[in-house]
Amino acid sequence: MEKRLASMLGTSAKHILGALQRTFRAVAVTGLITAVIVGVATEGIAFGLTGKFPPSGATHLAAAALAVAFGYAAAITVAVEEILRAIIKTIELIVEESEKLAAAAIREGEHLVGEGSSEVLKLGRGALHEAGALGHGAVGAAETVGRDAAGIVGGIGGAVGREAHALGEHIPGHHRDATVTSDASAQR
């Protein structure tokens, strides 16, 4: 992926430099040809109007000024056109390469998602197995704790019952033998 990106940048830079080279050539050739044509046309028009050859110095000065002005204007027009053409070509190239990179990234992402999902599935199954084992162990431990707690509560309950019974025998009037019961009836 990085190689493709570097290739795209290299191709874009090469394209831009080539476009600049063509632009400079086109500017020079267009400016020179336009200047020559305007200069010759100015001298020819001056000859046609005055009928004298060679024309005066003012005519040469006017021809040179017009040749430079028109040559410069034509050269700048060509330069702007070539630069715009190069920009459009570069954008088209970048879009084309970006689409190729996006397609490659999507394929790579799909591949990674496939690998990731299989790994997640394996980890999920392992976690489920471990959770089942831990749950089974927790249920067994809870049963043991429950039995132990029931035994302790039962033991405490039995001890409390025996102590209550023993205390009841020590309280006057709560004895169960017959003499005490008959003594209590006689007192009434």
- 171 located within any domain: no
Q: What are phi and psi of 56, to 5 degrees?
A: -70, 170
Four-CA torsion 52, 56, 62, 66, nearest 10 degrees: 50
Give the pLDDT score at 123.
78
- 59 located within any domain: yes
Q: What are the tens digits of pLDDT across the range 37-52?
A: 999 999 999 888 888 8
Give the pLDDT score at 67.
93
Give residue 81's region: left, alpha or beta (phi > 0; psi -120 to 50): alpha
Q: Which domain holds residue 15?
A: 2-118
User: 10 Å Cβ neighbour count for 56?
Assistant: 11
- Whether the predicted pLDDT of 178 surpasses 50: no
- 80 located within any domain: yes
Tokens of 79: 């330069």
The pLDDT mean for the chain works out to: 77
- 51 located within any domain: yes
pTM above 0.85? no
Q: What are the tens digits of pLDDT across the range 96-150?
A: 877 887 888 888 888 888 777 777 777 777 777 777 677 667 667 667 777 776 6
Give the pLDDT score at 170.
63
Contacts 24+ apart (CB under 8 A), 166-170: none
> How many structural domains comprise the chain?
1
Task: Please count the residues of the chain.
Answer: 188
